[in-house]
Amino acid sequence: MAKQLIFIFTLLVAVGVFAFTISRIISYFRFTRACFPIRNFGKRFRVMLNVAFGQTRIFRRPATGFLHALVFWGFCVILIGSIEMIIDGLFGTDKILKSLGVVYDIIMASGDIFALLVAISIIIFLIRRIFLHIKRFEGIEMKAISHVDANIALTLILLLMLSLTGMNIAYIDCQHRSGEEIAGIYPISTWLTALFSGISEEGLHTWFEVFWWVHIVLIFIFANILPYSKHFHVFMSVPNVFLSRLEPLGKLPTMDHVTREVKLMLDPTTAYAAPAEDAPVERFGVKDVEDISWKNYFDALACTECGRCTAVCPANLTGKKLSPRKIMMDVRARMKEKGPGMVRQGHEFADQKSLLRDYISMEELWACTTCNACARECPININHPTLIVDLRRYLVMEEAYAPGEIKSVFSNIENNGAPWQYSPEDRLQWAKNLEMNRI
């Protein structure tokens, strides 16, 4: 009974802290804009199975991709065992899901095997991060805290796997010595029971309880650290893939209010619902986080900071300042900075800063070629170019700012109806003296 009460208190604290954190993050979404409607649920579900659960984009780098997939799939399987532990802790039961029979045996065996595979994968990841200095893990946006954050999260995952294996070993040995039935199959832990051969039965039971508490408390700590870490993608990646844009990557979204005005100019008889007289004037493009769409912010929260986007960016590869990963990290950092003030004071809150210029420079924005290499490579379907284009839209449409070369194009389109500086009457001059042969 005492164990139950302590567990319930621990669970309530963990859930309370997590709920507070998530409610704060959700409150920031109120200050973002609407974007595309959520339709085609069947197609979205197929994309989620393929990209999120199938980890197809991760496998573009086969070696590390396979290890990452093992970690993801291992978490999916081990999650069932964690749910069982919570139920046991609440109601004082022991292996409550063992009534599932063969299914339970398969789940426990898979979890036992994956615990070892995930532990090996995490050790490899830690070695790569600490000793190998992988180029895509570096960059101006990757501060020292980013590396510490990653190492802490990986270490917690490793401890989770070790405590799970230790718990399974102690459980198997305890059941063997007492002659009681073992619920589930544990191929790896059974093989490792020799590690506890010199411990008494009472000592084994104590070790089981220690490992059980360490494992469940680590789960609670890990869950509450994630929202403040780049590893928040553990929660966010699957829904982010489900909510990803389904249009071709090269299609850039238009601004509805601009499209409406253009169509009215072309055809005044077109019927459109006029905006309310007291409706706030919409800003063209994005200047700060209150101008981004909810999907832009969702992308920023889901970003894994893996650097795959920046590693394939042609602008970054040629030495320019643009880093698609930095764009997402800047959105997240800026919302974290401005969000609390907007929650208190609403849209009127101003801190004399903005996402544009204070976080993202114009040099970065104009370096983007909208080739969509970053969006294609992202393992969780983040679309960076749509946000970059919206930031450039603000510069052009609100501030009339653009590099000189682009201003020349705008001027030529206005005067000549084409991007070139030649008059429309002179467009065929190149063919004036050419002889044409009829076929």
User: Which domains are seen in the chain, by residue range?
Assistant: 2-18+31-242 (1.20.950), 256-261+283-405 (1.10.1060)
**CA 315 to chain CA mean position, Å:** 23
Asked if 313 and 324 count as a contact pair (C-beta separation under 8 A), the reply is yes
Q: Which residue matches tokens 């070139």?
A: 420
Asked if 88 and 167 count as a contact pair (C-beta separation under 8 A), the reply is no
Question: Residue 17: its pLDDT value, please?
Answer: 96
126 conformational bin, left if phi > 0, alpha if psi -120 to 50, beta if neither: alpha
Tally of CB atoms within 10 A around 403: 12
Closest by alpha carbon to 67, among 107, 122, 128, 109?
A: 122
Question: Residue 439: its pLDDT value, please?
Answer: 59
Closest by alpha carbon to 303, among 207, 214, 203, 374?
A: 374
Residue 297 clears pLDDT 60, i.e. is over it: yes
Question: Residue 277: its pLDDT value, please?
Answer: 57
Residue 369 clears pLDDT 60, i.e. is over it: yes
Whole-angstrom distance, CA of residue 89 vs CA of residue 412 = 72
Compute the mean pLDDT over every residue in the chain, rounded to the nearest whole number. Answer: 90
Torsion of CA 308, 309, 312, 315, to 10 degrees: -140
Whole-angstrom distance, CA of residue 69 vs CA of residue 411 = 51
Whole-angstrom distance, CA of residue 353 vs CA of residue 5 = 48
Asked if 253 and 361 count as a contact pair (C-beta separation under 8 A), the reply is no
pLDDT digit string, tens, across residues 11-37: 999 999 999 999 999 999 999 998 888
Phi, psi of 293, deg, nearest 5: -85, 160
Question: Residue 82: its pLDDT value, please?
Answer: 93
Q: Which residue matches tokens 């029979």?
A: 101
The tokens describing 114, both together, are: 């994956």
Whole-angstrom distance, CA of residue 31 vs CA of residue 294 = 8
**CA 255 to chain CA mean position, Å:** 25
Question: Residue 231: its pLDDT value, please?
Answer: 86
Residue 46 clears pLDDT 80, i.e. is over it: yes
Whole-angstrom distance, CA of residue 339 vs CA of residue 346 = 9
Closest by alpha carbon to 311, among 371, 362, 378, 360?
A: 378
Residues in CB range of 147: below 8 A, 6 or more apart: 129, 137
Q: Stretch 205-213: mean pLDDT, rounded? A: 94
The tokens describing 220, both together, are: 């609670």
Asked if 150 and 129 count as a contact pair (C-beta separation under 8 A), the reply is yes
Asked if 254 and 367 count as a contact pair (C-beta separation under 8 A), the reply is no
pLDDT digit string, tens, across residues 258-296: 888 778 878 877 766 566 555 566 788 999 999 999 999
Q: Stretch 367-395: mean pLDDT, rounded? A: 95
Tally of CB atoms within 10 A around 103: 11
Question: Residue 347: its pLDDT value, please?
Answer: 86
What separation in angstroms does the CA of 156 have from each of 69, 123, 224? 18, 11, 12
Q: Stretch 86-97: mean pLDDT, rounded? A: 90
Whole-angstrom distance, CA of residue 71 vs CA of residue 170 = 24
pLDDT digit string, tens, across residues 389-433: 999 999 999 998 888 888 889 888 888 888 888 777 787 787 887
Pick the residue with more confidence: 352 or 268?
352
Q: Which helix (H) or strand (E) holds 66?
A: helix 62-91
Residues in CB range of 101: below 8 A, 6 or more apart: none
Pick the residue with more confidence: 304 or 278?
304
Question: Residue 194: its pLDDT value, please?
Answer: 85
What's the pTM value of the predicted model, to 2 decimals? Answer: 0.88
142 residue type, one letter: M
